[in-house]
Chain A
Amino acid sequence: MKKQLIVRLKSGLELTFVPNEVSLDNTFIPVAPLLNENDFPLLLHFTHAALVTTLNLSKMPDCVLLHLIEDYSPKSAAFCLNRSEGDFTVQSQCKRVLFIPFPIPFKPSEIVSIRLSKKSKP
């Protein structure tokens, strides 16, 4: 059974993402190498006890980060649109971050809720 995240928008539409989940206990995470082994959408789960995780987004393809708290409720969003060769990091105070490839067909501000679905898919 694969984990599904259901993103509900203000319009009432629900979008289903079946993420590739990676659990990590580091507080500094180069994300681009993880995408060599895992497709979008990518769900990172931080298992360390620190308050903040630093995500190195250098050389990442364009994507949107949704920062989720323990029950998967969305806390904030960030756009990763690399336009230079310089290093690029962001910090997250959340224990989970969902990476969705850009472009996304909805505004992050339209998200009402995100929930975990237990429904099994063929």
Chain B
Amino acid sequence: MSDVVIKVENVGKQYHLGKVGTGTIANDLNRWWHIARGKEDPYLKIGSVNDRTSKSSINDIVWAVKDISFEVKQGEVLGIIGKNGAGKSTLLKILSRVTAPTTGDIKVKGRIASLLEVGTGFHPDLSGRENIFLNGAILGMTQKEIKSKFDEIVDFSGVERYIDTPVKRYSSGMYVRLAFAVAAHLEPEILIVDEVLAVGDAEFQKKCLGKMKDVSGQGRTVIFVSHNMAAVKGLCTQGIILRNGNLMFSGDAESACSSYLGSSMQLAGDSLIDRKDRQGTGSIRIEELFFIGKSGNVLNTLISGEYAKLIFKYKKIVIGSIKPLFIGITIRNDSDVIQTVIATDELGISVEIEKEDGLIEVEIPEVLLRGGMYSVTFQISYKANQMASHEIIDRVENAMYFQVERGDYWSVGNINRPTGYLQQASIIFK
């Protein structure tokens, strides 16, 4: 098959930490001398743990991405998923030729256009019209192409009235809309998009997503980076996961998303006690968190409509009782969208913890979530009085992940659809 349009082979990119300038000229000469004699770069140590976030690394060299290999076929929409610092942006920069890789190579078939930012090269003093042409040319369009699409671009941006006004007088929303409109009308065979969709109001975002869908629908190849799982799922056909600069997973978008959550879940599985990403004073700490069923058995998977009990095992470090306490539990779906919240103050429950350790049991008579993967974020806080703000005692984001299996909640013999929560409703015909 020769419909592979991008072939990435063993791509790596290395950065030097610290200042460029004083002291580096000697290193530079030394390195140059070694390479000139055909020796290895003396400052390039391979085999050390590649963790960009750890501060105690001995090396002043870091691999932003390392040994990445994947292929993209024509017409595919590839989502690149990863946490901050996983190397997504570096990979995009290499793909869009802003910077060269340190190792490996990338082979590309067709014209690439990259959108790492909207409005690149906009000149504040020029009018919207002039900037459309300039920006279009920077992105690789010819003047003829821009001219033929000019009306479409203006229409899409919705800034028709201000098209002859210098863009420095635009509101930031107008500016971004105009900039995206130009970018959206590029017609490359391969489009590389960074999280530019995080701009504009909801309506405009929807328009952009729609436009991107159009692009991919025309048999063009798109590479898309986002934190937004819903967008990745909705748009992409394929997905890869990066972690600490390494390729963790490559496959279809759906399984990439769940694998991403799975890998975070693994992180959560490190057991709650060991989690380092806690917030709060820590005078009370939740040490374990799990679901049990009616008979007291630990549940790994919940079933829609059935009973479950969420158990918090806590330990109090300070002496004496703390009150008034508030406990909040947030349940998010796999697109990181909040599905529901359970809060003690809302339920009218006043909380007081006296014992040094014990259990907090949250009883859920019927799980009203549809099938899918969900996460639990909890927060225990203290509030001295009505006016005071919450003082966080213990809070862990995505402390636990759990799966909900689709059930037959309405008892009609039909399995419920996935996604969302179950809404009680009756339908009457009149």
Verify that A and B bind, or say they do not. Answer: no
